[in-house]
C-alpha cells in the first residue's frame, strides 16, 4: 500500500514520473462549480498541488492571482518549469506550518486531495487539526473560503471540518469521471448531520467525489 502520508513517497513518485497528474477530477469537471465560488480578483493558493494542471487551468480561465505550493521540492521544480511562462509562483511549504504565508493573505485556499493525504499519515487527527488552523490563519477574515476536494464522504470529513466552529460548510458532490453530473447535497447548518440528501444517487456514495466549501462565518474574528 502506498504511504501517501510521507514526504519520501512523494519525492520518489515525482522523480519517477514528472508528467502532469490530477487527482480525482480534471478541470473540465470542476470548472463550472469552482467559478461559482471563486472571483476573478480573488487571491488563490493551491495547497499540495503536486504536478496538477490546476494552476494553469485557473490562470487560462482568467484567474490570474493564483499561486501554488507543495512539500515536495521535486514537484515544485517541475512546476517552476511549467509555470514560468505564465508567471505563476510555486514554492515549497508544509501545510502543517506554512511560515512562508502571511495571516489573512488569501481569499481562496484550494485543496484537491491534500487533506486526504494528511489523514493517511500517522497522528492524522492532530495533523488534520494543524492543517485546518493554518488554512484559517492565512485566509482573509472578510471573505475567505477553503475549498476541499476529497474522496471522503461527509459522514467522515465533516467530523474534522466542523471542529472549526468558525466555518460554515456546504457539501457538493461530483460523480466520478464516468459522469459529468454535479449534484448539490448540502447545506443546512441547523440540521443534525450538517447536510441534506437532495439526490437519490447518494445511496451509492462510492460513486462520488465531494467538494467541501468552507466559508468563514460572519463577524468572526
| Total-model pTM | 0.84
Q: What three-state secondary structure class fits 128? A: helix
**CA 47 to centroid of chain Cα atoms:** 7
Confidence of residue 181 (pLDDT cuts 50, 70, 90): very low
How many Cα atoms sit within 13 Å of 220 on the Cβ side? 18
Residue 92: all three cell numbers together: 515549497
Q: Which of 20-24, 87-91, 134-138, 195-199 has the lowest mean pLDDT?
A: 195-199
In the predicted model, is pLDDT for residue 55 greater than 80? yes
- At 13, which helix (H) or strand (E)? helix 7-16
- Residues of the chain with pLDDT > 90: what percent? 61
pLDDT tens digit sequence for 80-106: 999 999 999 999 999 999 999 999 999
- Which candidate, 30, 76, 29, 17, places its Cα nearest to that of 50? 76
Q: Which domains does the chain have, with CATH numbers?
A: 7-216 (3.40.50.150)
Amino acid at each position: 500500500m502506498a504511504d501517501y502520508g510521507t514526504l519520501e513517497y512523494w519525492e520518489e513518485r515525482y522523480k519517477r514520473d514528472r508528467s502532469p497528474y490530477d487527482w480525482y477530477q480534471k478541470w473540465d469537471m470542476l470548472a463550472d462549480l469552482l467559478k461559482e465560488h471563486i472571483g476573478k480578483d480573488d487571491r488563490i493558493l493551491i495547497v499540495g498541488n503536486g504536478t496538477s494542471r490546476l494552476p494553469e487551468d485557473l490562470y487560462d480561465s482568467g484567474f490570474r492571482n493564483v499561486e501554488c505550493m507543495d512539500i515536495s521540492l521535486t514537484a515544485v521544480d517541475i512546476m517552476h518549469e511549467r509555470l514560468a511562462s505564465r508567471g505563476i509562483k510555486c514554492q515549497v511549504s508544509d501545510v502543517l506550518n506554512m511560515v512562508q504565508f502571511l495571516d489573512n493573505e488569501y481569499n481562496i485556499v484550494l485543496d484537491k486531495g491534500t487533506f486526504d493525504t494528511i489523514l493517511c499519515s500517522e497522528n492524522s487527527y492532530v495533523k488534520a487539526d494543524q492543517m485546518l488552523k493554518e488554512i484559517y490563519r492565512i485566509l482573509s477574515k472578510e471573505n475567505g473560503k477553503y475549498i476541499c476536494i476529497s474522496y471522503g464522504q461527509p459522514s467522515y470529513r465533516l467530523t474534522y471540518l466542523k471542529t472549526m466552529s468558525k466555518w460554515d460548510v456546504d457539501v457538493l458532490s461530483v460523480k466520478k469521471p464516468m459522469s459529468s453530473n454535479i449534484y448539490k447535497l448540502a447545506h443546512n447548518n441547523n440540521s443534525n448531520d450538517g447536510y441534506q440528501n437532495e439526490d437519490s444517487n447518494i445511496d451509492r456514495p462510492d460513486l462520488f467525489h465531494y467538494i467541501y466549501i468552507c466559508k468563514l462565518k460572519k463577524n468572526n474574528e
